[in-house]
A and B are shown apart, each in its own frame.
Chain A
Amino acid sequence: MSEVKYSKEHEWIKLDGEEATIGITKHATEMLGDIVFVELPEKGSHVDKDGTAGVVESTKAASDVYTPVSGEVIDTNQMIVDDPSKINEDPEESAWFFKLKIKDKNEMDSLMNKEEYEKFSKETSA
């Protein structure tokens, strides 16, 4: 069974056993505008909860991508590197950023569920 959770930095994370898939939310892409460049973490590297794990750039500005949990990077999505506009098209499915083998499932507890995130993103963009 997989669950999707959300961070305050507008990342989504889907956990499947010990494997987590991470991307940025639709709300984030709407705030960023057209995405034209993405930098992903190296496969095999370790990332720490709330640390930077990549960069997205829109025509307007660069923004860091953070990882909502710690772990080892086991895969990255070459599709979005080759065509960053895919992130605007399908941010919460095919345009995922990276996959982690997570260290500590408990790190998921502090994250928001869908309902909480929707409320949060509405409040912060108001």
Chain B
Amino acid sequence: MNIKKTSLNNLHIKYGAKLVEFAGYQMPIQYKDGIIQEHKYTRSHSGIFDVSHMGQLFISGGDDLTNNLEKIFPADLKKLKTNQSKYSFLMNNKGGIQDDLIITKTSDGFLIILNAACKYNDYEVIKSKLDNQYKLNLDESLSLIALQGPEAKNVLNKVIPGCNSLKFMNGNNYVYNNKKIYITRSGYTGEDGFEISIKHSDAETFVESLIENGSKLIGLGARDTLRMEAGLCLYGNDLDNDTSPIEANLKWAIPKSRIETEFVGSEVLKNQFQSGVKKLRVGIKPDSKVIARGNTKIYNDKNQEIGKVTSGTFGPSVEHPIAMGYVDNSYSTVNTKIFLEVRGKKIPANICNLPFYKKNYVKGEINV
């Protein structure tokens, strides 16, 4: 298979990236500073992430688009104002998650940001559920760059004046190099930040100007530790076709106004809302320094298997191992003692609240 390169590939090499294949793209796992320094720089200053491998699907045209998309996605799209974004899901008929995504209302339709590994399948699924009157464009002429961290607003505002007035989960059009770019205030790190959709040909100079203003390129390795500390799910690890948004503890993303309405998977979700779920995603904090990674088995104090870790690492900002996973619902209460099987040994751990790292408080409260 041909491995694709993003428009920032030369820049990655210039800044000493270690490149790996991810979802069919050659992507930077880390740069010279390494994952821990990159993670901390994002939390203290700002970091630039090449997320151009993700899908940018524009849907427009036709009548009744909002109604028809509400039959696919469980978001309250009718209430969405132009340039406002919502986190939502593409589900299957069993209520399982095919992808988690961000939907933004644009002036002539909707923009949906899709996970790289899911985007082509998502496109086919969405296309098959809409009739031909709509125009679907999985636009591969655009790069996507995330700028995250407490300094992000200052750095970006120097390059794109005025963008720091954007509100969280809102976007707008701006101009860079005489061309239209689209910026949303959003991210995947637990920090304030932006995602910038920009023509491939402008991406490199744009990123260089962010670097000149004090930001640094950050690899996928730190992106993963940042999102885990923030308690955010990674599709394929923490979310999959056999897991519903309710089981994933993402009930907040299903608005009450939609529960009684019809969309793909609505029957199952309605049922789960009423009768509860068997498994639930939880935060897990090991007592010791041992790291429990994805697929680690979880046991109760009677040595019965009660679940599985789906993501786990060492949290550089909380300075402790962190994990999330699914347990039998009766063990999902915070402070429940559980055991993680790592290299044949049962490691004591506790169910804990997510996120591990909270930014909203003054200087970033540490929640481990």
A residues whose Cβ falls under 8 Å from a Cβ of B:
33-34, 36-37, 39, 55, 57-62, 85, 88
Residue from A58, A61, A85 having most chain B Cβ neighbours under 10 A: A58
A-B contacts besides A33-B30, A33-B35, 9 pairs, CB < 8 Å:
A33-B221, A34-B37, A36-B36, A36-B291, A37-B290, A57-B314, A59-B39, A59-B221, A62-B291
B221 and A57 form a contact (CB under 8 A)? no
Are A34's CB and B343's CB within 8 A?
no
Produce 1/0 per residue, B31-49, CB < 8 A to A. 0001111010000000000
Chain A contacts for B36, CB-based, 8 A: 34, 36, 59, 85
In the complex, what's the smallest C-beta–C-beta distance from B234 to chain A, in angstroms?
A: 14
Chain B residues in 8 Å Cβ range of A62: 291, 293
Q: Pick from A37, A60, A88: contact of B321, CB below 8 A.
A: A37
B150 at the interface (CB under 8 A from A): no
Complex: how many Å from CA A121 to CA B291?
Answer: 28
Report yes or no: A33 in contact with B343, Cβ–Cβ below 8 A.
no
A–B pairs, 13, beta carbons within 8 Å: A33-B30, A33-B35, A34-B34, A34-B37, A37-B290, A37-B314, A57-B291, A57-B314, A58-B35, A59-B39, A59-B313, A61-B293, A62-B293
The complex places the Cα of A123 from the Cα of B59 at a distance, in Å, of 49
B316 touches A59 (CB 8 A): yes
CB nearest to B222 among chain A residues: A59
Cα of A37 to Cα of B289 in the assembled complex, Å: 7
Q: How many residues of B contact A (CB 8 A)?
A: 18
Q: A33-B221, A37-B289, A37-B290 are in contact. Are A60 and B343 (CB under 8 A)?
A: no
The smallest beta-carbon distance between A76 and chain B, in angstroms, is 15
Contact status of A33 and B314, CB under 8 A, knowing A55-B343, A57-B291: no
Do A33 and B34 have beta carbons less than 8 Å apart?
yes
Contact B29 A60 (CB under 8 A): yes
In contact, B343 and A59 (Cβ under 8 angstroms): no
Residues of A within 8 A of B30 (CB): 33
> Is the CB of B350 closer than 8 A to any CB of chain A?
no
A39 CA to B225 CA, complexed, in Å = 21
User: In whole angstroms, what is the CA distance A55 to B321 when docked?
Assistant: 15
A36 and chain B: residue at smallest CB distance:
B314
Looking at the assembled complex, report how far the CB atom of B345 sits from the nearest CB atom of chain A, in whole angstroms: 10
- Least Cβ–Cβ distance between A79 and chain B, in angstroms: 14
- Chain A minimum-CB-distance residue to B225: A59
Give bound CA distance, A57 to B291, whole Å: 8
Q: Is the CB of B289 within 8 A of A60?
A: no
Chain B residues whose CB sits within 8 angstroms of the CB of A60 once the complex forms: 29, 35, 221
Measured in the bound complex, the distance between the Cα atoms of B316 and A36 in whole Å is 9
Q: Please give, as numbers and ranges, the residues of chain B lying within 8 Å of A58 by CB-CB distance.
A: 35
Residues of A within 8 A of B290 (CB): 37, 39
Taking CB atoms, residues of chain A closer than 8 Å to B221 are: 33, 59-60
Within 8 A of A (CB), among B7-48: 29-30, 34-37, 39
Interface string of B233-271 (1 = CB under 8 A from A): 000000000000000000000000000000000000000
A60: nearest chain-B partner, CB-CB: B221
How many Å from the CB of A89 to the closest CB on chain B? 12
A33 / chain B contacts, CB cutoff of 8 Å: 30, 34-35, 221
- B225 contacts across to A, CB distance below 8 A: 59
User: Taking the nearest CB of chain B, how far is it from the CB of A57, in angstroms?
Assistant: 5
Cα of A63 to Cα of B82 in the assembled complex, Å: 49
Given the known interface contacts A57-B314, A59-B316, the answer about A37 and B29 at a Cβ–Cβ threshold of 8 Å is: no
Cα-based distance from A55 to B343 in the complex (angstroms): 10
**Smallest distance from the beta carbon of A28 to chain B beta carbons, Å?**
15
Min CB distance B4 to A, Å, is 22
CB-defined contacts of B321 to chain A, threshold 8 Å? 37
Q: In the docked arrangement, what's the CA distance between A58 and B225, Å?
A: 12
Q: Given A60-B29, A60-B221, are A37 and B34 neighbors across the interface (CB < 8 Å)?
A: no
